[in-house]
Chains A and B, each alone.
Chain A
Amino acid sequence: MAEISELVAADRDTFRTGTLQRHKMTRAQWEQAAGDAARGYVTLLSLWATRSAVHMALMEPNSRGVGILSLENRRAEFPSVARLHPPAQRLERSITDLFGLAPQGAEDTRPWLDHGAWGITTPLAKARPREARQPDYDFLPVIGEGLHQVPVGPVHAGIIEPGHFRFSAQGETVVRLEERLGYTHKGIDRLMQGATVARGAMLAQRCSGDSTVAYGWAYAQATEAAQGVTPPPRALWLRAIMAELERLANHLNDIGAICNDAAFALMPALCSPLREKVMRGCDAAFGHRFMRDAIVPGGVARDLERDGRQALEAVVDEVRRGFEPIVELYDNRPSLLARTVGTGRLRGDLARQFAAGGYIGRASGRDFDLRRDLPYAPYDRLTFKIPVREEGDVDARIWIRIEEVRQSLHMLDQLLGGLPAGDIQAPPGPGNAPGEGLGLVEGFRGDVLVWVALDARGRIRRCHMRDPSWFQWPLLEAVIEDNIIADFPLCNKSFNCSYSGVDL
């Protein structure tokens, strides 16, 4: 039996260039793969199901090969991955809710996405009407003296997404936080089934609004790989311009918002107008503030005209001038730093175990960024640095974002200056043929993964989208331990995980 890591490493050359062959596993091999993920020989990128099989995407960290392993299941069950590798747990519970497949040996078999409100069960398999009322959700018990519980949500005090947090606290100190998500579950996976590639693109760009471009691009990569289509260089450069603008807008907004949760209102007052400038620049250049539906499979929907380019150059200029005084303000405010330094510390080993993407992983020493480590055009042509810090606290996550703002501005200079001429759409492919493809794009929050399988009519048989937050949310539970409840908003905002992206 070939070693799992060798199998995955061998796919280094085929990933990003076309259809990725899935490796069929025996049960023993599947379990070995789960164990290898737990031992750190391979990195678990995602876990999902189709009607007749379960699949996992793995990366071999040295060679940076990416491969997909599949296990056919005829008996509606599969060996649990989470039993050996906890980061798979919520993905596994979602598989049970959507497909009715039971992970054998799993410790936590509580439902995740299914709150008992759909009227049906297992909507992606043979959906059945729900007969019995779903029992109340059992939060994990906390035992000890003087403990009390604080339930928060799903409706929160601010203008944010819905989710439930159950704090068990001793006095002010949090002993355990348990998250209960799934409130924004829209059934996107089933809407995708049978949809045209174009409608799929529309849905993909509405999974998590703040990551519209990242999703649009990852989905486009997946369908292009499945159909053997190569977008022209200009289209790829335009996609990168959009992706860096998106990163810029989100980082600017969140740097201010994190400080707002430490009651330092001057930071958002300075950051949000810069974010507004970026959003208006996007609108002027690409016709939409979030650049929705600007990326289409095969290229981009609209070219960047001269006016738009000038507008973006002006935005880059203004943000660059406006940003550095804000950084100085943050760095010289001891009262603010007293709240962020040492708060919400994420241990490096946890960040690596969960393969935490984006600023969350990079603030805890996980030196990984798809733009450099699994590069896709045009990032292979740009010069940029990936900031990494070891402290893992709120302050470190802010500094990673500050540095990423600078790097994005630097990349936008290069992208706007070196934009190649030419078409913005690939010529139509050879026609419809069944195919599968994988897309991986570095969004502002981390790596977005999209896997798509097309049928002979060119329609979507199954589309799986894995938001970076799948592997970040569980870490927030670990981070808040031993912090005070009052610091939760600060920790939460410094993570800024997506609810909609994981609820789908």
Chain B
Amino acid sequence: MKTMLLKALTGKPLTEAAPAQSGLDELGMTLGLQARRRLGRSLAIRQVDAGSCNACELEIQATGNPVYDLDRFGLHFVASPRHADVLLVTGPVTRNMEVALRRTYDAMANPKWVVAAGDCAIDGGCFAGSYAVLDGCAAVLPVDVTIPGCPPKPAEILRALVALMQRADKTS
């Protein structure tokens, strides 16, 4: 373990530095400015799976790994909706999850935003029309930002949160 830690101290970070193609660096700058003004440099996110297949969860989890490292943008996931600014919803919103999703939203303090991540959360995706789903998050909550993809890639999820910050700034 000593060698491992030494290597971590002296080696290059795994986090992708200034990736021109993915625009992560630029994204960090924008988010930094917006977040500072509006939310004191941080944005707390509560994620709710409203019936996804779990691929979206895996990619959202990945945004926290050392390669994407969402914490450096002031973004972090919180356990309680009481602490959250953003509700990140995945899945087509199954009828069995409708109440739990509404209650989570109601438990959040204002101001709050809703992000629908993944094709399912946008309009039900390939499950639309089923007796068991509500065809997307908008049927239950006011959606501010959507992130298309099945599932969206980690970098796309990060990028979308910036768009949200910009909108939050305009409406303030």
Contact = CB atoms under 8 A, between A and B. Distances in A.
Contacts of A273: 14, 65-67
A208 B54 contact: yes
Contacts of A253: 58, 61
A76 interface: no
Given A186-B92, A202-B126, A325 B54 contact: no
Given A183-B51, A191-B127, A272 B62 contact: yes
Interface in B25-81: 47-62, 65-67, 77, 79-81
B112 interface: no
Contact of B49 (A184, A187, A325): A184
A159 B84 CA distance: 14
A253 B62 CA distance: 9
Contacts of A127: 131
Interface size of A as a range: 35 or more
Given A186-B127, A272-B65, A500-B51, 8 more contacts: A123-B132, A162-B50, A183-B51, A183-B97, A185-B96, A186-B94, A186-B130, A206-B53
Interface of A: 115, 117-120, 123, 127, 154-155, 157-162, 182-188, 190-191, 199, 202-203, 206-210, 212, 253, 266, 268-270, 272-273, 275-276, 279, 289-290, 292, 325, 329, 332-333, 498-500, 503
A499 B54 contact: yes
Interface centre among A157, A199, A329 (most CB of B within 10 A): A157
Interface size of B as a range: 35 or more
Contacts of A275: 62, 65
A190 B131 contact: yes
Interface centre among A253, A279, A325, A500 (most CB of B within 10 A): A500
Contacts of A290: 55, 151
Given A118-B95, A184-B94, A185-B94, A123 B66 contact: no
A187 B130 contact: yes
Contacts of B126: 191, 199, 202-203, 206
B100 interface: yes
Contacts of A203: 126
Contacts of B131: 118-120, 123, 127, 187, 190
B56 A209 contact: yes
B20 interface: no
Given A191-B127, A272-B65, A276-B65, A117 B51 contact: no
Contacts of B166: none
B100 A154 contact: yes
B54 A269 contact: no
Contacts of B61: 159, 253
Nearest to A164: B100
A164 to B, nearest CB: 9
Contacts of B99: 117
Interface centre among A117, A127, A269 (most CB of B within 10 A): A117
Interface of B: 1, 4, 14, 47-62, 65-67, 77, 79-81, 91-92, 94-100, 104, 125-127, 129-133, 150-151, 153
A90 B96 CA distance: 17
A158 B52 contact: no
B95 A212 contact: no
A120 B151 CA distance: 30
Given A117-B95, A119-B95, A203-B126, A292 B51 contact: no
A311 B90 CA distance: 31
Contact of B1 (A160, A212, A332): A332
15 contacts: A154-B100, A158-B79, A159-B47, A159-B49, A159-B77, A161-B54, A161-B57, A184-B51, A185-B51, A187-B133, A206-B125, A207-B53, A212-B55, A275-B65, A500-B53
Given A209-B52, A272-B62, A500-B53, A329 B4 contact: yes
